[in-house]
């Protein structure tokens, strides 16, 4: 794999100086066209061996193009805030917005490879990371990103030569540290791990481009030209005509119209007296759990979904009133801001993930894509169809480590919704809860129910099961939610710390 990049590629100075002005001009033109187009980001991943000119190449790209539209991010060891969230959190939040170029120096590849070289992980763990990376990059390219991954290579001989060269030069000797030499000793192990990783992550949509790092002129020109042609090609493409979104689910629905939702027993109720007792009981238990020492090692994410007027808001208030306000955050999912719109769909949910010892409660969630966006045709069928997998990946990452993820679907009957709508209309201060949109959505009741049933079927996984809540009786529903949450947290706390 790397042999082709050890042949000693060279570009003459004359050639370089002749090609450069035109290349810079064209790169700038492409960069402005990208900015004007504004439809996709360009994600440039920079990896490779030390001394092969990674850093210099990043600098050169910033010099050649307009640095104000380049997001250069170099990843240091994670901060405490970062360590306490899923591994991909900081990478996700560092993605460049559409219309701009992100240069990622160090990336989601660094830790899995370095950990493997250092023997901290086994081959199987590396391979699991590789699979995760492939799904992540698949999501990026599905979202429209142009992903270019450059690997800067040097033969062992050349790397040694280069390190010595810099070390001997008095003026530049500060550029080489002990860590660099230590790293060099692991050249062979690193070579093997890199070859394995690159081979398995060189996908059609996001292939690796291996660049011989020996001669600066050669590597700069290679990267510049590759970047230019990829951007040009992409900018010239007609936007892929996504299939017209269709209301008809492409998923085969049970022909007897029975599903998990229609079969849910909605007749369960709770008397006011029993409710009062149970409420204090489960709220007290939740409160004690949240103050448990062990809770500081746990994070909790809760998603609420359900038809309008199913009682999401009032249930959430029963949870939060049992908690210390400093521990939780309620995120009502609203129209995305422009910073959110310029990012992949899941970005706006990633940004609010809780750190350890905290809870985030989403009032409506990332499932919007397969519910309202699907039913109302706000996104194409291709987009919501792929969302099931993306969501499962997201939740898998979320639940790794000590995390509890609870997903509640609050189910009511169509009649009950009507009664609550009418009550909202007549009670003046509940008026704000009812809009024309709610009535419009109600007309599509069956479509929403079908979408919800599909959603539950496809995203109720062992690690992140859906809890279906019969919410016809609000009191019953609230206790069910509280109890479920308490039990899930207790289970997690009982797991040994490891």
81 binds a second copy (CB under 8 A): yes
291 binds a second copy (CB under 8 A): yes
Where are the alpha helices (H) located in 51-186, listed in sequence order? 54-64, 80-83, 89-93, 110-117, 123-142, 156-168, 178-185
Shortest Cβ 371–a second copy spacing (Å) = 17
Give the footprint of a second copy on residues 27-46 (CB under 8 A): 28, 31-32
E strands along 275-425, which residues? 299-306, 328-332, 359-363, 403-411
* Residue owning tokens 């994410």: 301
284 binds a second copy (CB under 8 A): yes
178 binds a second copy (CB under 8 A): no
Shortest Cβ 409–a second copy spacing (Å) = 20
Choosing from 236, 428, 494, 496, the residue that interacts with a second copy (CB under 8 A) is 428
Shortest Cβ 326–a second copy spacing (Å) = 4
| Burial of 407: CB neighbours in 10 Å, binned 0-12, 13-18, 19+ | buried
Considering the complex, state which of residue 25 and residue 125 has its C-beta at the smaller distance from a second copy: 25
Shortest Cβ 109–a second copy spacing (Å) = 15
Q: Alpha-carbon distance 426 to 421, whole Å?
A: 9
Considering the complex, state which of residue 21 and residue 239 has its C-beta at the smaller distance from a second copy: 21
Within 8 A by CB and 6+ apart from 136, the residues are 88, 108, 393
Shortest Cβ 300–a second copy spacing (Å) = 15
79 binds a second copy (CB under 8 A): yes
Exposure class string for 214-233: b at 16+ Cβ within 10 A, else e: bbebbbbbbbbeebbebbbe
Shortest Cβ 206–a second copy spacing (Å) = 22
67 binds a second copy (CB under 8 A): yes
Specify the DSSP class assigned to residue 85: S
Per rule CB under 8 A, count of chain residues that contact a second copy: 59
E strands along 353-430, which residues? 359-363, 403-411
Considering the complex, state which of residue 135 and residue 355 has its C-beta at the smaller distance from a second copy: 355
Shortest Cβ 348–a second copy spacing (Å) = 12
**With contact defined as beta carbons under 8 Å apart, do 384 and 374 qualify?**
yes
Shortest Cβ 101–a second copy spacing (Å) = 13
249 binds a second copy (CB under 8 A): no
Please state the φ and ψ torsions of residue 153, each to the nearest 5 degrees: -115, 150
> Residues 134-173 vs a second copy: string with x where CB under 8 A?
-------------------------------------xxx
Instruction: Determine the Cα angle at 296 with ends 290 and 300, to 5°.
Output: 65
Instruction: Determine the Cα angle at 439 with ends 435 and 444, to 5°.
Output: 140
> Residues 431-470 vs a second copy: string with x where CB under 8 A?
xxx-------------------------------------
**With contact defined as beta carbons under 8 Å apart, do 375 and 453 qualify?**
no
Give the footprint of a second copy on residues 299-328 (CB under 8 A): 313, 317, 320-321, 324-327
Shortest Cβ 193–a second copy spacing (Å) = 21
288 binds a second copy (CB under 8 A): yes
Give the footprint of a second copy on residues 404-423 (CB under 8 A): none
Considering the complex, state which of residue 55 and residue 465 has its C-beta at the smaller distance from a second copy: 55
241 binds a second copy (CB under 8 A): no
Shortest Cβ 437–a second copy spacing (Å) = 13
CA dihedral 299, 305, 309, 313 (to 10 degrees): 10
80 binds a second copy (CB under 8 A): yes
229 binds a second copy (CB under 8 A): no
59 binds a second copy (CB under 8 A): yes
Structural tokens at position 129? 């990371």
Q: Alpha-carbon distance 289 to 443, whole Å?
A: 42
Neighbours of 185 (CB within 10 A): 9
Shortest Cβ 228–a second copy spacing (Å) = 12
Strand partners for 209: 150
First to last CA, the chain: 38
Within 8 A by CB and 6+ apart from 43, the residues are 95, 96, 102, 104, 140, 145, 146, 147, 148
Residues forming contacts to a second copy in the complex (CB under 8 A) are 21, 24-25, 28, 31-32, 55, 58-59, 62-64, 66-68, 72, 74-76, 79-81, 105-106, 171-175, 177, 277, 280-281, 284, 287-288, 291, 313, 317, 320-321, 324-327, 330, 332, 334, 337-339, 355, 363, 427-429, 431-433
């Amino acid at each position: 794999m790397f042999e082709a990049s050890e042949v000693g590629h060279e570009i003459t100075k004359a050639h370089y100086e002749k090609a450069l002005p035109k290349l810079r001009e064209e790169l700038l033109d492409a960069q402005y066209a990208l900015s004007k187009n504004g439809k996709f980001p360009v994600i440039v991943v920079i990896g490779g061996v030390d001394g092969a000119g990674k850093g210099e190449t990043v600098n050169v790209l910033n010099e050649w193009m307009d640095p104000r539209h380049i997001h250069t991010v170099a990843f240091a060891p994670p901060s405490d805030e970062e360590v306490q969230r899923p591994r991909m959190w900081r990478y996700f939040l560092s993605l460049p917005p559409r219309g701009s170029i992100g240069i990622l120096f160090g990336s989601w590849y660094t830790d899995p490879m370095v950990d493997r070289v250092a023997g901290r992980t086994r081959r199987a763990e590396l391979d699991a990371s590789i699979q995760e990376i492939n799904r992540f990059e698949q999501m990026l390219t599905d979202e429209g990103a142009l992903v270019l991954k450059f690997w800067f290579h040097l033969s062992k001989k050349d790397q040694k030569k280069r390190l010595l060269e810099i070390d001997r030069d008095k003026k530049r000797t500060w550029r080489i540290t002990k860590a660099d030499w230590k790293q060099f000793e692991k050249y062979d192990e690193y070579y093997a791990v890199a070859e394995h990783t690159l081979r398995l992550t060189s996908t059609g949509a996001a292939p690796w481009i291996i660049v011989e790092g020996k001669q600066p002129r050669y590597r700069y020109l290679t990267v510049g030209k590759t970047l230019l042609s990829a951007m040009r090609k992409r900018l010239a493409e007609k936007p892929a005509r996504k299939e017209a979104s269709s209301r008809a689910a492409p998923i085969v629905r049970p022909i007897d119209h029975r599903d998990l939702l229609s079969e849910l027993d909605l007749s369960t109720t709770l008397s006011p007296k029993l409710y009062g007792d149970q409420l204090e009981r489960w709220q007290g238990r939740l409160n004690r759990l949240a103050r448990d020492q062990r809770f500081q090692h746990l994070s909790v994410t809760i998603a609420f979904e359900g038809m309008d007027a199913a009682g999401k808001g009032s249930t959430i208030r029963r949870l939060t009133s049992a908690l210390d306000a400093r521990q939780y955050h309620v995120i009502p999912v609203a129209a995305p801001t422009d910073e959110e719109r310029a990012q992949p769909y899941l970005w706006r949910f990633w940004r609010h993930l809780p750190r350890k010892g905290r809870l985030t409660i989403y009032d409506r969630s990332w499932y919007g894509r397969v519910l309202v966006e699907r039913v109302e045709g706000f996104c194409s069928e291709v987009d919501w169809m792929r969302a099931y997998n993306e969501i499962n990946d997201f939740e898998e990452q979320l639940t790794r480590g000590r995390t509890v993820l609870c997903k509640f679907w609050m189910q009511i009957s169509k009649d009950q919704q009507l009664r609550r709508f009418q009550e909202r209309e007549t009670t003046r201060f509940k008026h704000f809860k009812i809009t024309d949109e709610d009535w419009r959505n109600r007309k599509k009741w069956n479509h929403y129910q079908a979408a919800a049933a599909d959603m539950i079927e496809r995203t109720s996984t062992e690690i992140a099961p859906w809890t279906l809540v019969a919410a016809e009786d609000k009191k019953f529903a609230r206790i069910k939610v509280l109890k479920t949450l308490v039990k899930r947290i207790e289970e997690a706390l009982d797991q040994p710390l490891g």
